Structures are given as C-alpha cells and as structure tokens.
Amino acid sequence: MSLSVPTSDFQNAPELSVEVAIVGGGPAGLMAAEVLSQAGVSVHLFDAMPSVGRKFLLAGKGGLNLTHAEPSAQFNTRFGPRETEVSQWLSGLDAQGVRDWAQSLGVSTFIGTSGRVFPAEMKAAPLLRAWLQRLRHPASGVPVQFHMRHRWLGWQGDHLVFGRRDGAPPLLVKAGATLLALGGASWPHLGSDGAWQAHLQQEGVELSPLKPANCGFDVLGREGQGWTAHFRTKFAGYPLKSVVLTVPAPEGTGKPPLFERKGEFVITETGLEGSLVYAASAWLRDDLAERGQTHLLLDLLPDKTPEQVFKDVAWPRGSRSLSSHLKGRLGLDGVKMGLLFELCSPETLARPDALAALIKALPVPLKQPRPVAEAISTAGGVALQAMGPDLMLAARPGVFCAGEMLDWEAPTGGYLLTACLASGHRAAHGVLRSLAAKAHTI
C-alpha cells in the first residue's frame, strides 16, 4: 500500500502489539471502548486530536440533545432507507438504553417539550468527564489506554500505521482486532476530515461519496443570482418563525409531499439554514443531485386558510401601499414581507389571486447545499453492504467500522447521536465474537 510516510521511516518505527485498536475518539469509538473494557478486553484508543470527543462537546455547547423519547417504532423510521440496518443496532442500545447509560454515569436526563432528551445540566462536558473517568478507571474490567495526536495513515501489511507529531517516526500497531470510528467530514477542524476514505478504497472497501446532511442551502433567487444585496443586507441572520416548509413530490406524480412541517429557520448571506431546513435537507439535497434544481414551498401564514388570505389580500386598500395593506390586514411584515418582495415580480404582487396563493405556497428555488464541512453531519461513507451484520468489513476481516463514517444519516433531535452510540455498541460486540472465534481456533 502507498502511504504518506517515507519507506525509510519504517526502519526506526516502534511497534506495538494490542488486543484491540480503536481508531477515533468520538461517541461511537468511546462506546465501543466501554463495551470492550467491561468485557475484560485490553483496548488502545488512537485519535489524531489532542483530546477526544471534540465534536461531541461542541454539539452540546448550547444544550446536549442526547436522544429522543418517542416510541421505538416511530424512532426507527427516522433513518429512512437505512431503517432496517439501524434498527438492528438499536436493538442492542436504544433511546431508553442511552438514558440508562447516562444515568449510570451519574447524569440524569429529562424530556423537553418536543420529546427531545437532555442531560439535567444541559451540557456535554460533565457527561464526557464522567465517561472518560470510567474508561480510564473502571470499577471492573480493563482500563482503556488513550493515544492522542496519533493520525491513522492506513496499513503497512498487517500493521496499522500512525503518524505522530514533532518528526517522530510512525508507530506500527499490530491489533488482534481493529475498530474504526473516524466520523464523516463535517466540522473537519474537530478531527473528522474524511481522510480515511483513501485508505479504505485502497483495500477495496465499497464507499459512497460523502454528502452534507442536516445542512443549509444557497438560493437561486428570482433572477438566478441569489439574494439581492438589499435583501441580504437587511435580513441575513433574521429568523423566519411559524412557517410551514414543504418539499413537493415531483411534478406529474400526484404523490403527497415528500416533507411538510411547521417550524422556523434563519435567512443567511447566501440562503437558508436552521432546524426546519435541516429536517428537509435530505430530500432537497438528493433532488438537486438528481435533477440539478429544486425548490421548497413556504406557507408564510399557516394559521390562516387560503380563503381568509385571499379575502384580506383582495380587500380594497385605497391609498395605502401594498406593504401597509398586508401588514394591516394579515399581520404580514418584516422578513416574511421581505421574502415576498424578493421572490415575486411586481406584476404578480399586483394580482390579488396570485399574491394570496404565493403567501400560502411561496416557491424558494435552491442552487446547492452548503459545503459538507459546514454541515451538521454527513451521509455516505462505508457502504452497509460492504459489512456483515456485526459491522465487520468483508474486504478486511478483523476490521470493524462504526459511527458517522458508515453510509446512513439521521435528522437532528437526538437520532444521530443515539445511532452512533448504538453502532459502536454493535461493532464492539462483533469484535468480542470475532476474538472468541479466533481463540477457539487456536
């Protein structure tokens, strides 16, 4: 295999033999380490960053959404085309299991009004501290050994190769089993940069391209040039509250909308982002990839019927401006009013029937998703069909994968974190079975 390390460096490279090597210190890797540690297995965890759980900490800065309290049958549907596979992971560690696990660390949880589950202190740091304390000093089991600032560079024969800082020669690690939990490619400054793709491709592992998930979008605007300078200057950063966002089914299919939900999002310098847009992002992203264009529909006044809106729009306005008329009759102003004037032609705005229809279903044409590095998470990665049910790679026996580097995605709301933890739990049990089978054949 071709590595980014001069061959001469291997002459002085130290070697380490371990029972299990885990590469990646995010939630999936740490959960795998815990399962193995408690089973009495010696685990060495390697991570390229100075400390583990960096994305986990940042994601929980404003309040760690740990999981979701909805029933399992509904919870499992949140994983779309990967529901069957992810449900298998969740059979070993589901949402209630995650809450019980947090409680075992001394972290109590509560259910918010939306069904989302949070730690009582809201923050990720106390949970991570307690978790690392247990991994390093377990009441039973084997302490996990951490190797920070070790960047995985692929394999040299049967050895994992880790680059180290300050010009030190690479470290060669021989592992009885390896578990990769390297994340996707969002927020790369926190450690998940997707560099592992090249190493797995060289091993013949089937991969799907990494794509942004739970992401914002750039708009085309009315003239195909994005927001006008006037709109951008006036409204970038403004929240759009109490709207219904719809992703319509392809024209001519007669099918119901692909997505429809009430909520809020934010206008950005180039387009849209925020919770409601993130929830619809998978459909919008895939439609853009397939057709090169797409749009969403906004109901700016979801609490009013089309008949009510038309009646108020058509009401004689006398000498009042259209803006004053819509504000007085419908309470429509601010960024909602700005969107109408930004996306509709003057001729359309002058027709009460057309204007009323657009207030209830305003098309917002989209140009592209924001870059994967800006996304909350990623889709794509190691194809699930490239692994067995224990998440072991068919192309590289003895190597398991878990977490966001696998080809699945989930919306925000605790689903992504729960499934990452569950995949680490699943893969760790696969490692245990693999080690037992290997010992049986000796």
Radius of gyration of the chain (CA): 25
Cβ pair 321, 210 in contact under 8 A: no
The secondary element (H helix, E strand) that includes residue 418 is: helix 415-441
Are 357 and 395 in a shared domain?
A: no
Residue 1, in any domain of the structure = no
Report residue 114 as tokens.
Answer: 């939306």
Are 304 and 426 in a shared domain?
A: no
Number of alpha carbons in the 13 Å side-chain half-sphere of residue 381: 30
Are 239 and 357 in a shared domain?
A: yes
> Tell me: the pLDDT tens digits for 300-323?
999 999 999 999 999 998 889 999
Question: What average pLDDT does this structure show over 152-179?
Answer: 93
Question: What average pLDDT does this structure show over 191-196?
Answer: 91
pTM of the entire structure? 0.91
**C-beta neighbour count of 77 within 10 angstroms:** 11
Final residue in a domain of this structure, among 349, 369, 389: 369
Nearest 5°: CA angle at 432, between 430 and 433?
Answer: 65
Q: What is the DSSP string of 115-154?
A: SEEEETT--SHHHHHHHHHHHHS-SSS-PPEEEES-EEEE
**C-beta neighbour count of 114 within 10 angstroms:** 12
Are 136 and 32 in a shared domain?
A: yes
Are 155 and 294 in a shared domain?
A: no
Residue 2, in any domain of the structure = no
Are 123 and 262 in a shared domain?
A: no
Final residue in a domain of this structure, among 353, 369, 385: 369
The Cα 407–Cα 331 span in angstroms is: 45
Are 249 and 350 in a shared domain?
A: yes
Residue 422, in any domain of the structure = yes
pLDDT tier at 442, thresholds 50, 70, 90: low
The Cα 282–Cα 270 span in angstroms is: 19
Final residue in a domain of this structure, among 369, 384, 408: 369
Cβ pair 369, 288 in contact under 8 A: yes
Please check the confidence at residue 167 and state whether its pLDDT lies above 80.
no
Please check the confidence at residue 291 and state whether its pLDDT lies above 90.
no
Question: What average pLDDT does this structure show over 104-120?
Answer: 94
Please check the confidence at residue 12 and state whether its pLDDT lies above 80.
no
Residue 403, in any domain of the structure = yes
pLDDT computed for residue 277 by the predictor: 96
Residue 356, in any domain of the structure = yes
Structural domain count, the chain? 2
Please check the confidence at residue 298 and state whether its pLDDT lies above 70.
yes
Cβ pair 174, 16 in contact under 8 A: yes
Are 237 and 359 in a shared domain?
A: yes
Q: Read off the CATH number of the domain in which 123 is found.
A: 3.50.50.60
Please check the confidence at residue 168 and state whether its pLDDT lies above 90.
no
> Tell me: the pLDDT tens digits for 228-280?
999 999 999 999 999 999 999 888 788 899 999 999 999 999 999 999 999 99
Residue 383, in any domain of the structure = yes
Write 320-329 long-range contacts (CB < 8 A, 24+): 322/349
> Tell me: the pLDDT tens digits for 396-439?
999 999 999 999 999 988 999 999 999 999 999 999 999 998 88
Give Cα 190 distance to the centre of its chain.
14
Cβ pair 425, 31 in contact under 8 A: yes
Q: Give the chain's mean pLDDT.
A: 93
Which residues make Cβ contacts (< 8 Å) with residue 368, sequence separation at least 6? 217, 218, 288
Question: Containing domain of residue 249, as a range?
Answer: 217-369
pLDDT computed for residue 3 by the predictor: 45
Which residues make Cβ contacts (< 8 Å) with residue 226, sequence separation at least 6? 218, 219, 220, 232, 270, 271, 367
Are 228 and 185 in a shared domain?
A: no
The Cα 282–Cα 279 span in angstroms is: 8
Are 102 and 243 in a shared domain?
A: no
Are 89 and 184 in a shared domain?
A: yes
Question: What average pLDDT does this structure show over 203-214?
Answer: 96
Report residue 349 as tokens.
Answer: 């705005």
- The CA-atom distances, in angstroms, between 127 and each of 50, 102, 183 are 19, 7, 20
Q: Cα torsion at 305, 306, 307, 308 (round to 10°)? A: 50
Residue 256, in any domain of the structure = yes
Are 48 and 61 in a shared domain?
A: yes
Q: What are phi and psi of 236, to 5 degrees?
A: -60, 130
pLDDT computed for residue 1 by the predictor: 35
